[in-house]
Amino acid sequence: MAKLSLMFEDKLVKEVPIGGRPVGIGRSPDNDIPVDNLAVSNYHARVYFEAGRLVVEDLDSLNGTFVNDLRVERATLHDGDKIHIGKHHIKVDATGDAPFPVDSGRKATAPRINETMVLDTKVRREMLQQAAAMGESMQFASNRMKVPTLVVLGGKTDQREYVLTNRLTVIGKSVMATVRMKGWFKPQMAAQINQRDDGYYIGPGDKIPTVNGAPIPGPVKLNDGDLIEVSGVRMNFIFRE
Amino acid sequence: MRIASGGKSDVGRVRSNNEDCYRILGELNLFILSDGMGGEAHGEIASALAVETVVKHCLEAESNPVAPFFGETQAKWNSRTKRLSSAVYLANKKVFESAEQHPEQRGMGATLTAAWIDHDQLSIAHVGDSRAYLLRHGNLQQLTSDHSLVAEQVRRGMLTPAEAEKSDMQSVLLRALGAQQKVEIDAEEQPLFAGDLLLLCSDGLTRMVAEAEIASALESESDPEKAAEKLVALANASGGADNVTVIVARLGPVSKSWFSWLGLGTRKHSNGNGTAGGK
C-alpha cells in the first residue's frame, strides 16, 4: 500500500498509509499528519488518489506546499517524490501498489493525464490554443503542400502516374487495385502502400517489391525519390510540389 | 465472401470498470466498437448509447431502403458508408443530448469505430482513437487516423511516432462523440481481398501491445474468437493499464477448388453482444 512518511531532517516522525480517504496535513492536531510548526497552516495540504493517480493539493496555505522544491497548488505524485511543508518533508512511497505507472525520475510539474479526456474546460482551452498554433504552422507548411505520387517508369499499367489519395493503395492486376498492372501472369496484388500518420509505407503483397534495388524485409517507409520495382513494373515515388 | 468474426472486451488489470462496448451484427457483417470516457459510470453510458444508436440506425435502414441520411455524406460514397457516417452522426447527437439533459453525465464522451463489409467493399466510419486495421499478407495496416493530440502532432511532423508513444498527452482527444453538438466524422471505403483480416480495437490494445506482436498473434490464430481472446490476454500480460476491446473479422481464403463453392452459403459468426459494463 502507498504511504507517506513525515520526516524532520533525517528522522522519521510518522508513517501514514494512503487509502480511499484523503490524508490531511497541517498544524491542527485533527490532521492525519499533524505537523507542529508555526510555518505550517492549520489545514495545509491533502494527499489522495484520483483516477488512479496520487495527488497532492495545497489548501491555500500561507507558506505553500512544495514538491521536489517546486511550489504547487496541485500536482501528481510519483514514487520517491518529496513534499516540503515548513521545515518538514514528507516522502512519498507509491511502490506498495501502484495503480498508475511509477516513473520515479519525474518531477511533479504537471499532472499526468491517464484518463482519456476530450478537450474540455480549462484543458480544452489550452489544447485548442496549442492546436491553433499548430494550425498556423500547418498553413505555413501548406504553401508547399506536397502530393505523394507514383510515376511509372517501366512496365504496363493503366496509367502513367498515380496520386496516392487513399489510406491503402493496392498495386496489382486486380480490378480493385489502384495501380492496375496489365499482362498475363501478373499477381492480383503485387504490393501495397499504407498511408500512416508519419508517412507512406510499402509492404509486400503476393510478391516482395524492391526499394532502390533492395528487397524489403517488411513494410518500409518511402522517401522522396525512391525507386520501386515489383513484377516487372518500375515506379518512382515522389512528393510533387 | 465468407466472413468469420469474434470479439472480446475486458476491464484490464488496473481499472475497476469497463467503459468499452462492442457489438457484432454477424448477419449484416457490421462491427461496432466504442471506448467511453467520463467519471463515475458515465463512460459506460456514453459508449453503450453510442453503440446502440449505430446498431438501431443501421437496422432500421436495412428494413427501410428510403431511410434518410443525417449529417454530411459524400456523393462518391456507397450506401453503406453513407449509412455508417449517418449513424455516427446520430450517436454523437444522442450522447451530447443525454449529457445536456443529465447534469451528472456532463463531460462524458466516447470514441466510435464502425466497419461494415458488403461483399468486397469495406466501409469505415470513426471518431476518436479506437483503430481499424487490415491484416493482409502479414502486414498490419492502419485504416484510421487517431483523433488525438499526439497523432495530430505526428502528422504535422512535430513528434515522431516513438515520441508519441511515450507522451503524457496520449489520452487527450481532439474529437470524440458527445463533446459537441456536431462532430466531424472520418469515413472511408477500401476494397477487400480474400484472406484479409479486419481488426477493430480500443487504445487499451494498441498502447500495450506493439503492432508487430499484434500481427503475429493474428497470423498464428485462425479462429477469430480465439484471436480476439489472445490479443486481450497480450494486453493484460503487458500491464492491462486500460480496458481492452477487440473485434476480429476474417474473410474466407481464396477458393482453391470448385468444391468450395458448395460452402459459400454458410456464414459463420459468433454471437457478439459484448456490452461490457463492469460485470
Spatial distance between the Cα atoms of A57 and A183, rounded to a whole number of angstroms:
72
B94-104 average pLDDT score: 93
- A194 interfaces chain B, CB cutoff of 8 Å: yes
Judged by DSSP in three states, B200 sits in strand
CA A144 vs CA A166, B2, B168: distances in Å: 21, 46, 31
For B159, the closest chain A residue by CA position comes to A198
CB contact under 8 A, A127 and B172: yes
A107: left (phi over 0), alpha (psi -120 to 50) or beta: beta
What stretches of chain B show up as alpha helix (H) in DSSP? Answer: 42-63, 79-101, 149-155, 161-166, 203-206, 211-220, 224-237
pLDDT the model gives residue B4:
95
pLDDT the model gives residue A103:
37
Q: For chain B, state the CA radius of gyration.
A: 18
Place of cell 492486376: A173
More confident residue, A148 or A123: A148
- The shortest CB-CB distance from B174 to any of A119, A176, A196 is to A119
- The shortest CB-CB distance from B154 to any of A51, A189, A198 is to A198
The answer, yes or no, to whether residue B279 has pLDDT greater than 50, is no
The answer, yes or no, to whether residue A75 has pLDDT greater than 90, is no
Kindly list the residues from chain B whose CB atom is less than 8 angstroms away from the CB atom of residue A101.
241
> What is the band of B265 on the pLDDT scale with cuts at 50, 70, 90?
very low
The answer, yes or no, to whether residue A38 has pLDDT greater than 90, is no
Give the relative orientation of helices B211-220 and B224-237 as an angle to the nearest 10 degrees.
140
Average pLDDT value for chain A: 81
Judged by DSSP in three states, A235 sits in strand
| Residue length of chain A | 241
* pLDDT per position as a tens digit, A106-133: 333 333 445 666 665 455 555 555 555 5
The answer, yes or no, to whether residue B65 has pLDDT greater than 50, is yes
Q: Which of A92-101, A180-189, A197-206 has the lowest mean pLDDT?
A: A92-101
- A110 interfaces chain B, CB cutoff of 8 Å: yes
| Residue length of chain B | 279
> What is the band of B132 on the pLDDT scale with cuts at 50, 70, 90?
very high
pLDDT the model gives residue B225:
96
Whether the CB-CB separation of B197 and B210 falls below 8 Å is answered with no
The Cα of A132 is separated from the nearest Cα of chain B by a number of Å equal to: 12
More confident residue, B80 or B252: B80
- A166 interfaces chain B, CB cutoff of 8 Å: yes
> What is the band of A85 on the pLDDT scale with cuts at 50, 70, 90?
confident
The sign of the torsion formed by the CA atoms of B266, B251, B225, A99 equals: negative
Place of cell 467511453: B36
- The shortest CB-CB distance from B14 to any of A52, A170, A197 is to A52
Spatial distance between the Cα atoms of A138 and A146, rounded to a whole number of angstroms:
12
pLDDT the model gives residue A47:
92
CB contact under 8 A, A198 and B241: no
A60-65 average pLDDT score: 87
pLDDT the model gives residue B278:
37
Q: Starting at the earlier edge strand, list the strands of the sheet with A33-34.
A: A33-34, A23-26, A45-50, A53-58, A74-77
B230-243 average pLDDT score: 95
CB contact under 8 A, A117 and B193: no
- The shortest CB-CB distance from A203 to any of B129, B139, B157 is to B139
CB contact under 8 A, A134 and B153: yes
Q: Which of A105-119, B32-46, B86-100, B188-202 has the lowest mean pLDDT?
A: A105-119
> What is the band of A104 on the pLDDT scale with cuts at 50, 70, 90?
very low
Name which of B85, B182, B94 is nearest B125 in CA terms.
B85
8-state DSSP, A184 = T
Percent of chain B's residues with pLDDT above 70: 90
pLDDT the model gives residue A233:
96
The answer, yes or no, to whether residue A43 has pLDDT greater than 80, is yes
CB contact under 8 A, B190 and A168: yes
pLDDT the model gives residue A33:
92
> What is the band of A71 on the pLDDT scale with cuts at 50, 70, 90?
confident
The two beta strands, A33-34 and A23-26, are parallel
* Angle, vertex CA B72, rays to CA B67 and CA B73, nearest 5: 65
> Residues near A95 by Cβ (< 8 Å), separated by ≥ 6?
A2, A79, A102
3-state secondary structure A63-108: CCEEECCEEECEEEECCCCEEEECCEEEEEECCCCCCCCCCCCCCC
Name which of B56, B66, B19, B23 is nearest B271 in CA terms.
B23
* pLDDT per position as a tens digit, B139-166: 999 999 999 989 988 888 888 898 998 8
More confident residue, A20 or B224: B224
Q: Which of A80-89, A127-136, B60-69 has the lowest mean pLDDT?
A: A127-136
- The shortest CB-CB distance from B145 to any of A112, A189, A197 is to A197
Percent of chain A's residues with pLDDT above 70: 78
pLDDT the model gives residue A68:
84
> Residues near B47 by Cβ (< 8 Å), separated by ≥ 6?
B19, B20, B21, B34, B35, B36, B110
* pLDDT per position as a tens digit, B200-221: 999 999 999 999 999 999 999 9
The Cα of B241 is separated from the nearest Cα of chain A by a number of Å equal to: 8
- The shortest CB-CB distance from A99 to any of B14, B137, B178 is to B14
* Angle, vertex CA B233, rays to CA A194 and CA B20, nearest 5: 75
Give the relative orientation of helices B42-63 and B79-101 as an angle to the nearest 10 degrees.
140
The Cα of A162 is separated from the nearest Cα of chain B by a number of Å equal to: 17
More confident residue, A149 or A39: A149
Spatial distance between the Cα atoms of A236 and A162, rounded to a whole number of angstroms:
10
The answer, yes or no, to whether residue B121 has pLDDT greater than 90, is yes
A128-157 average pLDDT score: 66
* pLDDT per position as a tens digit, B175-205: 999 988 989 999 999 999 999 999 999 999 9
Spatial distance between the Cα atoms of B244 and B208, rounded to a whole number of angstroms:
9
CB contact under 8 A, A119 and B173: yes
More confident residue, B53 or A123: B53
CB contact under 8 A, A219 and B139: yes
> What is the band of B228 on the pLDDT scale with cuts at 50, 70, 90?
very high
The answer, yes or no, to whether residue B70 has pLDDT greater than 50, is yes
